[in-house]
Structure 1
Amino acid sequence: MERASATVNRPPASASSGRLTAWLRRTHGPVNGVIRLDRRHLYILPTRGGIGFAVLLMAMLMTSLNYNISLGFALTFLLAGIGMACMWMAYRNMLDLAVSAGPAAPAFAGAHAVFALHVDNAEADARIGVEARTPLSDPAAPSSLTLDGHASGELPLRLRAERRGRLALPRVTLASRFPFGLFRVWSYADLPLSTFVYPAPESDAPPLPLTPRPDDADDGALVVASDDGIDQLRRYRTGDPLHRIAWKHSARTGRWLSRTGQTPRQPGCWLEWDAIPPAFETEARLSRLCAWVLAASDDMDIGLRLPGVEIPPGHGAAHRRACLEALSLWPERRAS
C-alpha cells in the first residue's frame, strides 16, 4: 500500500523575521490622547556592554569551576545578581509612563522643527534618563528627561525640516539604558502631531513693494470734533484693538467706528506671485514672498496673491501666520 506523502509548507526564515519585526513595531496609538507604556508594549534587550558583561561572567564561572575557587563562585554569583537587578530596574524605569502630544513650533525649510512630548510619572519612583528619538531627529542634540516621583515634564524633539509643507511627527522611540547601560528598554509611540514648515526666506530680498492706499472715504471715514481735538474715524475692521473704538460716536451714529487719531497709517501692499520676475523658479518665488511677509510690520496691511489663493489685506501676528501657512502649503491649499 502506498502512503500519500503530505507536504508541509513552512514559511521561510525571512518571512518569520519580517513578522517578528512587524509585531515589535505594531502601532501603539494614543487612547484619549495619552499613550501608556504598559507591559505589552515594552521591550528589553542587552546592550553591547551587557553582552560583554555576560561573557565576562561566563569566563569567571568557567575559571572558578576549573580551579575550584570558592571566592570566584561568590563573586560570579554576586555580579550575576547585580545584573539581574539592573535588568529589573531598567524595565521598571519605563513601565507605566504616560506620554501625550505637546505643542509643536513651526520652522523654516532647512532649520529644525521642535515638537514637545508631555511625559507624566504617576508613580512614586523617579524615572531617570528617558530618551526620545525619531528617524528625523538631530543626532547631535539628543533629547533626554529625568522625572521625580509624581512629576511631569516636557521632552523636546528637534526634527530636521528639509522641505516646506506640513511636517508630521514620525514614530517616536522612547528608550532608557538606566542604571548601568547593561540593558536597553524601549517602546514606540505614534502621536497625531504635526506642524508647518515655511519656505526659507530669501536672504537678500528687495524692499517691500509698497503701494499707496486709496483714501478711506469709500470705507465710511469721517472727521468729527471731540473733546481732545480732531479724531479721524473710520468703520470698525476685524482686528482693531478695543481701546481704539470710538464708543460715543458708535452709539450716536448706530455703527461701529474706530479712532485713528493723528497717527499716519503705514501704506499697505499686495504681495503678488506675478510681481516677481518670470525667471524665478517656484521655490525662489515662495522664498521672496516669505521674506516680504516677515519684513512687514505688525501695523502694516498686507495681502497675498498666489495662483488659486488670495488672502485679503490685514495685519497682526495672526494674519502673518495665515500668509506663511498659505506659502507653506501651496499649491495644496487653493481657494475653493
Structure 2
Amino acid sequence: MAQPRALVRSPLARLRAWWLARLPAAAEHALTHRNLYVLPTRPGWMLGLTLLLLLVGSINYQLNLGYLLTFLLAGQAAVGVWVAHQNLRGLRLGVDVEGEAFAGQPVRVRIDVHNPGRRARWALTVRWARADADTASVDLPPGEAVSVALPLVFATRGRQPLPPLSIETRYPLGAFRVWSWWRPAGTVTVYPAPEIDAPPLPGAAATDGPTPPPLVASSAAPAAVSDDVPDAVRPYRTGDAPARVLWKKAARSDGDPSGWLVREAAQRQATAALWLDSSTCGLRDAEAQRGRLCAWVLQADARGLRYGLRLPHLVVEPDSGPAHRRHCLEALACH
C-alpha cells in the first residue's frame, strides 16, 4: 500500500517546508544582503575539488605555474560569487493573479520583477516552491521592469494562500547559486471545479411564492436606475438587440453604452429568475454539489439569465451580471 506523500518526504524537504513556513508574508519583496543566500552548484563543487588537487600537486612538486593557475582560478571563482550576488541584489518583486482560479485548473499568476539599478541583470530564474512547478527565465535591462506569468494549480476550493516563490541566478560562471525566497501575502479565491458534462439548467423557478429570507446579505445588488425610468426598462448589456435600446435617452449619454437603457417587458422580468439549489441538484456529496452548481452558474451567466443560489447556510437573491456571477462563485468557494 502506497504511503501518503506527506509521510515519505525526505528530512531535507521537511526542513525546507518548516523554514519556508517561518518566512514573514509580504506584499512586495526587496532583495538585499539579508535575504540572499549563496551555495556552490555541482559544477562549483567540482571546481573546488579541482582547485584542491591543483594546490596539493603544486605544493608537492613545487610548481610555480601550478600555484599561478590555482590562485588565478580561485580568484575568478571569488569574483563570480560577487557578480552573482550583485546580479540579484536590489531587485524588487510583486505578484498579481490574472483571471479566475478553479480547483484543479491552472491559473496565471503574474510576477513583476523591477530593476531599479543602472546595470542589466542576466539569467534570472523564477519558480514556485513546488517540486513540479514551472520555471521562467528573464533578463532585465537597466531601470526597467519585466513581468513573467507562472501557472499555478490549487487542488481544493476556498481562499488559498500563495505558495513561496524563489528567484535565483547562476550567472556568470554557473559554479554558484544565489537565491532568495519570498512568501507573498496575497490569497487566491479558488472556485470549485465545474462538473464536466453537467446536466442542463433546471427549469425557471416560479416567483409567485415567497422567496426564502437570505441568511447572509448578498453584496451583488441590481444596478440602480433613476426614479424617472419605467419599471420595464433596465441598463444596457452587451448583446442586447439594437431595437430594444431607447435611443432618445442614449443620445444624452455622449455615446457611452454604460448610460444606455433597454426596454424589457415587466412580465419577463418577473419570470426570468432561476434558482440553483444544492438540495435539489441531484447529488448528495457536498463537493460534487458545489461542482454542479458551479457549472450551472457559468451556464446561466453565459445565457444572460437572472438566477439565485441556495446553499445550506447561504442564500443569494436572483440577479445577473459579472458582479453577481463572482458573488455566487465566491459563495460556492468559501461556504
- Normalised by the length of structure 2, the TM-score is 0.74
User: Are residues 154 and 257 of structure 1, via their aligned partners in 2, closer, same or farther at CA, if it must alter by over 3 Å?
Assistant: closer
The match for 1:64 among 48, 51, 58 is 58
Task: Measure the CA separation in 2 of the matches of 1:79 and 1:257.
Answer: 74
CA contact (8 A) 1:136 1:159 kept: no
For residue 14 of structure 1, what is the aligned residue in structure 2? none
Tell which deviates more after alignment, 40-49 or 97-106: 97-106
For residue 290 of structure 2, what is the aligned residue in structure 1? 286
Shift of 1:26: 5.7
User: Are residues 180 and 114 of structure 1, via their aligned partners in 2, closer, same or farther at CA, if it must alter by over 3 Å?
Assistant: same
User: Are residues 245 and 213 of structure 1, via their aligned partners in 2, closer, same or farther at CA, if it must alter by over 3 Å?
Assistant: farther
The match for 2:263 among 260, 263, 282 is 260
CA contact (8 A) 2:20 2:164 kept: no
Q: Secondary structure at the match of 1:206?
A: coil
The match for 2:94 among 90, 100, 103 is 100
Task: Measure the CA separation in 2 of the matches of 1:248 and 1:42.
Answer: 62
- Alignment deviations for residues 189-241 of structure 1 (CA, whole Å, 9 cap, x no partner): 232111111111111211011316669xxxxxxxxxxxxxxxx963555x655
Residues 3-152 of structure 1: matches in 2 within 5 Å? 27-30=23-26, 33-136=27-130, 138-139=132-133, 141-152=134-145
The AA in structure 2 aligned to 1:143 is A
Gaps of 5+ in 1: 1-17, 216-231, 250-255, 331-336
Q: Secondary structure at the match of 2:80?
A: helix
The match for 1:169 among 152, 162, 180 is 162
For residue 254 of structure 2, what is the aligned residue in structure 1? none
For residue 4 of structure 2, what is the aligned residue in structure 1? none
The AA in structure 1 aligned to 2:290 is L
CA contact (8 A) 2:43 2:174 kept: yes
Task: Measure the CA separation in 1 of the matches of 2:116 and 2:43.
Answer: 31
Task: Measure the CA separation in 1 of the matches of 2:92 and 2:204.
Answer: 54
For residue 181 of structure 1, what is the aligned residue in structure 2? 174
Shift of 1:118: 1.7
Residues 273-312 of structure 1: matches in 2 within 5 Å? 273-277=278-282, 279-296=283-300, 297=302, 299-312=304-317
Gaps of 5+ in 2: 1-13, 209-228, 251-258
Shift of 1:304: 0.9
The AA in structure 1 aligned to 2:45 is I
User: Are residues 261 and 124 of structure 1, via their aligned partners in 2, closer, same or farther at CA, if it must alter by over 3 Å?
Assistant: same
User: Are residues 35 and 294 of structure 1, via their aligned partners in 2, closer, same or farther at CA, if it must alter by over 3 Å?
Assistant: same
User: Are residues 127 and 177 of structure 1, via their aligned partners in 2, closer, same or farther at CA, if it must alter by over 3 Å?
Assistant: same
For residue 185 of structure 2, what is the aligned residue in structure 1? 192
Residues 311-322 of structure 1: matches in 2 within 5 Å? 311-322=316-327
Tell which deviates more after alignment, 311-320 or 54-63: 311-320
User: Are residues 201 and 176 of structure 1, via their aligned partners in 2, closer, same or farther at CA, if it must alter by over 3 Å?
Assistant: same
Shift of 1:176: 1.7
CA contact (8 A) 1:176 1:186 kept: yes
The AA in structure 2 aligned to 1:167 is Q
